[in-house]
């Protein structure tokens, strides 16, 4: 079968990406999916570069997120049958391929009315956003939030879900032009970090008190600056380090205002828990009701994978990039 393969971390050229590899087998508790669409995430780019914080071995069939149809159920699988339409998260990657074996607990049944494109676009970004807001932290009406990288895929999901909860949303972008999309999705104020001081804006909008919560995917210096605009007893929630790991002064920053700091990786959530099921019901329900938009910023064939990665790395996209594998 054809698949997108990372031979080794670091410098990769386009001719190393598309390969023929053996078709996987559904082991006990796994479901073999005939993949129709796969979603690209910043984590995939980090794996390609070898800087992902949850290391994988190489060569690696890429792809964490997918949608498709159940082909075979492994021993002990219950609740799924061949022909079922599903979305899935593959912690060990493998989704950028014609077939992918996924543990049954990491699958979500797709409503008949939901397209495979949407199915490959919501799992990681929408559910990460939900759990950032409602599981590892709590978000209620009147809360003030600062969301970094608000124009990206998770940022746009965070914006919509936070506004549904009644929060005031302030966001930052590092690429001029991304402000418009976040504002259109409901953000109250968006700051371009290249031309405006987000700390001053946050303090002005909160009468000098600081925001209640910061949701960050940047790390490094942007995260460090953010401590100057969060209130005492506030909460910092991290889900990525696009600029780099938190600076070594993290402890000193936290104790200055008695802050709490949380780091979330969606793969660490218990897919059998009530919190997980609540998130799935809320997100899928909101998508189907037209209340939560999952924007698709681009669609690429397997032979266009290099262009897809380049588009993500350019930071010019506002929404999900999807890989077309089967119709």
196-218 pLDDT tens trace? 999 999 999 999 999 999 999 99
The structural domains of the chain, ordered by start, are: 2-124+270-324 (3.90.180.10), 137-263 (3.40.50.720)
Q: Where do the H-state alpha helices sit in 83-230? A: 116-134, 153-164, 179-184, 198-205, 220-226
229-260 pLDDT tens trace? 999 999 999 999 989 999 999 999 999 999 99
Rounded to 5°, the CA angle 39-321-89 comes to 10
How far is 188 from 145, CA to CA, in rounded Å?
Answer: 10
- Residue 13: the pLDDT is 54
Backbone angles phi, psi at 68, to 5 degrees: 175, -150
- Residue 16: the pLDDT is 62
Specify the pTM.
0.93
- Whether 185 has a pLDDT exceeding 90, the answer reads yes
Closest CA to 234 of 138, 129, 127, 134: 138
88-113 pLDDT tens trace? 999 999 999 999 999 999 999 999 99
- Whether 11 has a pLDDT exceeding 80, the answer reads no
Binning pLDDT at 50, 70 and 90, where does residue 8 land?
A: confident
- Give 51-86 as a DSSP string: --SS---SSEE--SEEEEEEEEE-TT--S--TT-EE
- Residue 166: the pLDDT is 98
Question: Which position has the token pair 């014609």?
Answer: 98
Tokens standing for residue 141: 């009406």
- Residue 7: the pLDDT is 85
- Residue 218: the pLDDT is 96
């Amino acid at each position: 079968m054809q698949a997108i393969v990372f031979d080794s971390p670091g410098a990769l050229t386009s001719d190393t990406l598309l390969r023929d590899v053996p078709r996987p087998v559904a082991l006990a508790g796994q479901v073999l999916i005939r993949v129709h669409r796969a979603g690209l995430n910043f984590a995939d780019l980090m794996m390609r570069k070898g800087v992902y914080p949850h290391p994988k071995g190489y060569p690696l069939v890429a792809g964490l997120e997918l949608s498709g149809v159940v082909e075979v159920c492994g021993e002990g699988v219950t609740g799924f049958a061949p022909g079922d339409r599903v979305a899935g998260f593959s912690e060990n990657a493998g989704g950028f391929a014609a077939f992918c074996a996924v543990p049954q607990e990491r699958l979500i049944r797709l409503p008949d009315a939901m397209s495979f494109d949407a199915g490959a676009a919501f799992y990681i970004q929408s559910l990460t956003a939900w759990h950032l807001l409602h599981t590892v932290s709590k978000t209620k009406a009147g809360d003030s939030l600062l969301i970094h990288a608000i124009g990206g895929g998770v940022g746009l999901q965070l914006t919509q879900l936070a506004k549904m909860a009644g929060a005031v949303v302030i966001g930052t972008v590092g690429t001029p032009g991304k402000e418009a999309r976040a504002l259109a999705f409901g953000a109250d104020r968006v700051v371009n970090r290249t031309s405006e001081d987000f700390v001053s804006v946050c303090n002005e909008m909160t009468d000098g008190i600081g925001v209640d919560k910061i949701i960050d995917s940047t790390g490094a210096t942007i995260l460090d600056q953010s401590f100057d605009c969060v209130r005492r007893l506030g909460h910092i929630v991290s889900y990525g380090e696009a600029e780099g790991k938190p600076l070594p002064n993290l402890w000193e920053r936290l104790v200055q205002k008695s802050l709490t700091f949380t780091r979330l990786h969606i793969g660490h959530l218990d897919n059998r828990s009530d919190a997980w099921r609540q998130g799935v019901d809320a997100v899928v329900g909101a998508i189907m009701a037209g209340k939560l938009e999952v924007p698709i910023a681009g669609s690429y064939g397997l032979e266009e994978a290099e262009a897809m990665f380049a588009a993500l790395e350019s930071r010019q996209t506002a929404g999900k990039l999807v890989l077309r594998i089967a119709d």
